[in-house]
């Protein structure tokens, strides 16, 4: 019985971690707009006009401290995501 309870707890913890790891586009809306239609803080490119590859490249670049004028802000936003998560998110926006 103890093994079943421990396995259940481990499974729930893993599932919760995976759900929390997904990029939340609502967190982006404050600066980029709900449809990624704005220049964030008047300085960034309009994300909806970028290709999926450009978005993925930019997000991965921010993660390692590279990129445009907003790299300092964006590094903190993407630091906790894997490259695979950023790639998957990029496929959901842009063109």
For residue 82, give the CATH number of its domain: 1.10.760
Is 18 contained in some domain? no
**pTM passes above 0.85:** no
Which of 35, 37, 19, 92 is closest to 59 using CA atoms? Answer: 92
- For residue 15, what pLDDT is reported? 44
φ, ψ at 89 (rounded to 5°): -65, -40
Q: Read off the pLDDT of each residue in 78-91 and give the average, rounded to a whole number.
A: 96
Q: What is the pLDDT of residues 30-42, one digit of tens each?
A: 999 999 999 999 9
- For residue 2, what pLDDT is reported? 56
- For residue 18, what pLDDT is reported? 41
- Higher pLDDT: 29 or 17? It is 29
For the chain, the domain total comes to 1
Is 1 contained in some domain? no
């Amino acid at each position: 019985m103890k093994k079943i309870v421990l396995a259940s707890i481990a499974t729930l913890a893993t599932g919760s971690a995976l759900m929390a790891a997904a990029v939340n586009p609502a967190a982006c809306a404050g600066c980029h707009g709900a449809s990624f239609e704005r220049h964030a803080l008047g300085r960034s490119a309009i994300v909806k006009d970028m290709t999926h590859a450009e978005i993925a490249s930019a997000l991965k670049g921010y993660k390692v401290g590279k990129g445009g004028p907003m790299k300092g802000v964006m590094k903190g936003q993407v630091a906790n995501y894997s490259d695979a998560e950023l790639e998957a998110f990029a496929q959901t926006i842009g063109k």
